[in-house]
Amino acid sequence: MIITFEGIEGCGKSTQIEKFKESLKKLKLDYVTFREPGGTELSEEIREILLNKDLDISPLSELLLFESARAELITKKILPEIGKKIIIIDRFIDSTTAYQGYGRGIPIEIISKLNEIVVGDIKIDRTYLLDAPIEILEKRNSHKKKDRIERESFDFHNRIRMGFLKIAQKNIDRVLIIDATKSVEEIQKIILEDFLKIYGYSTTG
């Protein structure tokens, strides 16, 4: 099974992925985690390029770099784990649609076709979308050094947020929108309860 975590910068994905991993450990369930872009030697090199604030990368080049990193990750890491472990991915195809589609303005149909080619028959079982107003998330990020994408304009990030919400509306059976302004503990509880309900695991017996 594959579970993805999505959302704009500062939404709390990394924290919730760590909390989710802790829950899976307590349940004695095998899992593996990956991030996008990244996860393989080549994909991590591509990540360095994509996030380099000193580089000027065209939207189409950016899209193709993301898809190249994804192709490497799927081939070398994800496919061998399918059916063996719970696969947790920090960003996946929805981020590409939101950032390069709704954010950069590349036609959604082009991105969908590329995602289809790269991902193939792989199915995401559940996506947790952490959502909050841009103003709140920008305050969370105010202290950190920003990479090339994080440094983009307010309007850019707002388009991405709206894009994520549109993706969720089109995939209501897969995407669960979670209010990222809630406490870490509240969000953790929502995710765990949803996971247990969907997959039928129990902490008893």
Q: How far apart are CA 108 and CA 202, in angstroms?
A: 39
pLDDT, position 115: 96
Q: Where are the domains of the chain?
A: 2-36+77-199
Domain range 2-36+77-199, CATH class: alpha beta
pLDDT, position 147: 87
pLDDT, position 142: 64
pLDDT, position 29: 95
pLDDT, position 192: 96
pLDDT, position 205: 42
Strand ranges, E, within the chain: 2-6, 31-35, 86-90, 126-131, 175-179
Q: How far apart are CA 190 and CA 179, in angstroms?
A: 10
pLDDT, position 56: 95
- pLDDT per residue rounded down to tens, the chain (205 residues): 999 999 998 899 999 999 999 999 999 999 999 999 999 999 999 999 999 999 999 999 999 999 999 999 999 999 999 999 999 999 999 999 999 999 999 999 999 999 999 999 999 999 999 999 988 877 776 677 888 888 888 899 999 999 999 999 999 999 999 999 999 999 999 999 999 999 876 555 4
Q: How far apart are CA 179 and CA 128, in angstroms?
A: 10
3-state secondary structure (DSSP) of residue 159: helix
Number of DSSP helices (H) and strands (E) in the chain, helices first: 8, 5
Name every residue whose Cβ is closer than 8 Å to that of residue 180 and which is 6 or more positions away in sequence.
7, 11, 12, 130, 131, 132, 136, 137, 187
